[in-house]
Amino acid sequence: MNYTSIHDIDNISAWIEEAKTLKANPLKHIQLGKNKVLGLLFFNSSLRTRLSTQKAALNLGMNPIVMNVSGDAWGIEFGDGTVMNGTTAEHIKEAAAVVSQYCDIIAVRAFPSLIDKEKDESEHVLKSFAKYASVPIVNMESATGHPLQGLTDAITISEHAKVAKPKVVLSWAPHIKALPHAVGNSFVQAMQKMDVEFVIANPKGYNLNPEITGDTPIYHNQEEAFKDADFVYTKNWSSYEDYGKVVNTDPNWMITKEKLGNAKFMHCLPVRRNVVVEDAVLDTDSSLVIEQANNRTYAAQLVLKKILENA
C-alpha cells in the first residue's frame, strides 16, 4: 500500500474516526512498528511534516531516519537512458533500491518546478520512487498534492464542526512568492469526499486545475463566497492557467477578522502574517492553525499504521 494521494483514502469518515482514536491514545500501537524503519527524504524545506511524521513513527515504535536529499545526497538522475555526464551522480534506479534496503517505508517530499507544467504533473520524482523502491511510499508533499495535509484538515474540520453539514470555503490569499498548488488540490479532494457544503474563492486567473475542482463552485467575489461560512481555509497558490506565475497580489484578498465573521480560520502553515492573514485572526480563538499542526501527527500515524498493517 502506498499513500500518494487523497484518492488512496477509501472511506474518509472511517479514517477520520480512526485518527481520532489514535489521538486519544497515541501509544496504543507502540509495538506495531517495532524494529521497522521509516526513511524521510526531503528535497525541500519543512518544519511540520518533518517533525510530525517522525513523531507519528515514534508513536508506533518505528525508528525514523531523515535525509535532506537536495543538500546532502548525491544529485539524483530521474531520466531514463540519460548520459550522466552532467550534475547528477546517481540514478533513481539505484537510489530507490538502496534506500529500500535500509527502510520499511519511504516518505518523500518533492515540490514542483512551477516552470514545466507537464513535467510537474507527471509527478516524476514521487512516481520514480514508487516504481523503483521495493517498499511502500508516502507522499509528504509532491508537485500536485499534499495528502497528509488534506487528511489532517478533514480531521480538524470534523473535530470542530458544530452543524451536520458545515459550509467550508477554500480562499486564495495574496503572497509575495509563486507557491505550488499541492495543498489547495488535496484540500479540494478531501472536501469533495466529505459531507460539507464546499466552495472555492479566488481571483480571476487563479482557478485550480479544473480536473481537480470538477463541479465545486468557484467564486471570484470573496465576500459572496464567505457568506454563512463555518470554516475558511486559506492558501496562496500561483496561477495554474499561466503556470507558476504571480498574476495578482491584490491585498484586498487578505483574510481579516471582519471578513471572517464567526467562521473558523484554517491554514496549513507556514503563513506570512499581515500578507495572507492579519494578526487579529491568528491571535484569537478564530484560528485553528495550531490544532491543525497537531493533527498532522495523527494523520501521519494513521497512514503509517495502515501501511504496517497491510505489510
Annotated binding site for N(2)-succinyl-L-ornithine: 141, 175, 235, 272
172 touches 203 (CB < 8 A): yes
Q: What is the CA radius of gyration of the chain?
A: 19
Q: Which CB, 50 or 306, lies closer to ligand CP?
A: 50
DSSP run (H or E) holding 127: helix 124-132
Q: Site for ligand CP (CB under 6 A): which residue of 269, 273, 309, 311?
A: 269
| Residue 287, CA atoms < 13 Å, CB-side half-sphere | 20
41 binds ligand CP (CB under 6 A): no
DSSP run (H or E) holding 200: strand 197-201
Cβ neighbour number for residue 27 with a 10 Å cutoff: 11
Q: Which CB, 100 or 152, lies closer to ligand CP?
A: 152
Q: Which CB, 79 or 270, lies closer to ligand CP?
A: 270
Q: How far is the CB of 182 from ligand CP (least distance, A)?
A: 9
Using alpha carbons, list the distances in angstroms from residue 285 to 158, 204, 232, 254, 264: 17, 31, 14, 18, 8
166 touches 197 (CB < 8 A): yes
- List residues forming the annotated binding site for carbamoyl phosphate: 46-49, 74, 109, 146-149, 268-269, 296
What torsion do the CA atoms of 46, 49, 52, 56 make, to the nearest 10 degrees? -140
Q: Which CB, 91 or 289, lies closer to ligand CP?
A: 289
239 binds ligand CP (CB under 6 A): no
Cell of 253: 484578498
Please list every residue from 217 through 236 that binds ligand CP, using CB under 6 A: none
Q: Of all residues in the chain, what percent are helix, strand and coil, respectively (each to 5)? A: 40, 15, 45
48 binds ligand CP (CB under 6 A): yes
69 binds ligand CP (CB under 6 A): no
Q: Which CB, 107 or 268, lies closer to ligand CP?
A: 268
Q: Which CB, 6 or 167, lies closer to ligand CP?
A: 6
DSSP run (H or E) holding 16: helix 12-24
Please list every residue from 148 through 177 that binds ligand CP, using CB under 6 A: 149
59 binds ligand CP (CB under 6 A): no
Q: How far is the CB of 280 from ligand CP (least distance, A)?
A: 22
Cell of 155: 480531521
Q: How far is the CB of 254 from ligand CP (least distance, A)?
A: 19
Residue type at 215 in one-letter notation: D
Please list every residue from 112 through 151 that binds ligand CP, using CB under 6 A: 141, 149
Q: How far is the CB of 217 from ligand CP (least distance, A)?
A: 26
C-alpha–C-alpha distance, residues 224 and 228, integer Å = 9
- Which segment (117-125, 130-138, 265-273, 282-290) binds ligand CP by CB under 6 A? 265-273
Q: Which residues bind ligand CP (CB under 6 A)?
A: 46-49, 141, 149, 268-270
